[in-house]
Amino acid sequence: MKNVVEGSFAAAKAVQLCNPGVIAVYPITPQTHIPEELAKMIADGELDSEMVRVESEHSAMAACIGSQATGVRSYTATSSQGLALMHEMLFVASGMRLPIVMTNVNRTLSSPINIWNDQSDSFAERDSGWIQLYCENAQEIFDTHIQAFRIAEETLLPVMVCLDGYILSHTSEPVEFLDREAVVKFLPGYKPGFSLNPARPVTMGPLGTPEHFIYFKKQQDEAMGKALETIRKVNREYSSISGRLYGNGLIETVNLVDGKDSALITLGSVAGTARALLDKMGIGLIRLKSLRPFPLEELKKACQGLKSLGVLEKDISPGCNGALYNEVRSALYGLDGRPRISGFIAGLGGRDISMRDMEMVMRKIRCRNGKLPAKEGKEVVEWLM
């Protein structure tokens, strides 16, 4: 049965079914509907979680680190400035290998102050050691949250589920839920290898001297590498209970048949806009679902044979293009006959990316057909404004 619900409700519903022991949250626009829904579920007796009403997002993550360390499945949700305030605690969570799950409702960062959507907030945290999964629609929000707890607990890496503020969080769409039994079977109770317990004392988060520190970081990086396979596996297993498959869990290719020579790569909800124009414009789509770990090999394979590739992203690394553009170019550096890559910075601070904008972007990608833009004579990054 399909239910027409907001993206925020889809997230809250999935979290309810995953039944975390602790939810520590601080409200921030546009994440607020998620903790509101969860608080209501607890008040109505539909969810048996301890809701910790903290005084900041820094404390929210600190509380999650503490509760997860005692062996309790923990969840939080935030946006923008809230995520930025958590910054140092994100590294603590990932370094301690605590499988916390967090929803980040993507909103830009000040200044100037702006409460609307782009992906600058989570892109700024891509080196924090968290897995980052981006959703395209409300159904995927529901499904990705349930997968996220499995992925986190199997890899011992925290997972950030990213969804576009307002465009997804405040928009109602039809969503099919799973029943509790199916979720419990898919996601058994959390069993930590070690936890803080006075009966069996351990030390967590100790000092790491210069001699040892680098080994822990290498281990984290290797765990991210292994997470690629875990994400693929969880995506497959989840499809067997839900009937829904999201590419290979890491990237999804659409309309990218043999002989297709141009494609657009993007992530998040704007992929929906692109999808609607693929047939008309005759190009392919590569939707990146996992930004971390970055699916290097899959991306190279998807781009094999392409002449022209466009990267459309809602973030900017001032002074050095968009972050995704840089990562895609780096990934394809070693690919023989790699496509010419055009960058597009769009939708910053909630600026709409209309069908017309998308059509213009696709036309440029297709028309370049492996040639450099005539005026500049080199690969360029353009701003849609």
Tell me which residues touch another protein (CB under 8 A).
95-98, 156, 193-194, 201-206, 208, 212, 215-216, 219
Distance in Å, CB of 230 to another protein, minimum: 15
Distance in Å, CB of 216 to another protein, minimum: 5
Closer residue to another protein, CB minimum distance, 45 or 193: 193
Distance in Å, CB of 225 to another protein, minimum: 15
CA geometry: angle 164, 161, 62, nearest 5 deg: 115
φ, ψ of residue 176 to 5 degrees: the values are -100, 125
Closer residue to another protein, CB minimum distance, 27 or 95: 95
Distance in Å, CB of 97 to another protein, minimum: 3
Distance in Å, CB of 31 to another protein, minimum: 28
Closer residue to another protein, CB minimum distance, 89 or 175: 89
Distance in Å, CB of 205 to another protein, minimum: 7
Distance in Å, CB of 20 to another protein, minimum: 20
Closer residue to another protein, CB minimum distance, 205 or 282: 205
Closest CA to 239 of 143, 131, 141, 103: 143
Give the distance from CA 269 to its chain's centroid.
Answer: 11
The H-assigned helical ranges of 57-133 are 57-69, 80-95, 120-123
Residue 25 CB neighbours (<10 A): 27
CA geometry: angle 249, 250, 252, nearest 5 deg: 80
Alpha-carbon separation of residue 181 from 8, 47, 177, 237, 376 (angstroms): 22, 15, 12, 15, 58
Closer residue to another protein, CB minimum distance, 73 or 97: 97
User: Which residues have CB under 8 Å from 259's CB, separation 6+?
Assistant: 305
Closer residue to another protein, CB minimum distance, 40 or 217: 217
Distance in Å, CB of 223 to another protein, minimum: 8
φ, ψ of residue 112 to 5 degrees: the values are -65, 155
Give the distance from CA 92 to its chain's centroid.
Answer: 19
Alpha-carbon separation of residue 169 from 60, 104, 142 (angstroms): 20, 10, 12
Distance in Å, CB of 152 to another protein, minimum: 13
Contacts 24+ apart (CB under 8 A), 85-88: 85/56, 85/57, 85/58, 86/57, 86/58, 86/60, 86/61, 87/125, 87/128, 88/58
Closer residue to another protein, CB minimum distance, 204 or 254: 204
Closer residue to another protein, CB minimum distance, 184 or 204: 204
The strand pair at 101-106 and 159-164 is best described as parallel
User: Which residues have CB under 8 Å from 83's CB, separation 6+?
Assistant: 57, 104, 121, 122, 124, 125
Closest CA to 179 of 152, 213, 142, 149: 142
Beta bridge partners of 309: 263, 341
Distance in Å, CB of 25 to another protein, minimum: 24
Closer residue to another protein, CB minimum distance, 149 or 177: 149
Closer residue to another protein, CB minimum distance, 196 or 384: 196
Burial zone of 286 (CB within 10 Å; 0-12 exposed, 13-18 middle, 19+ buried): buried
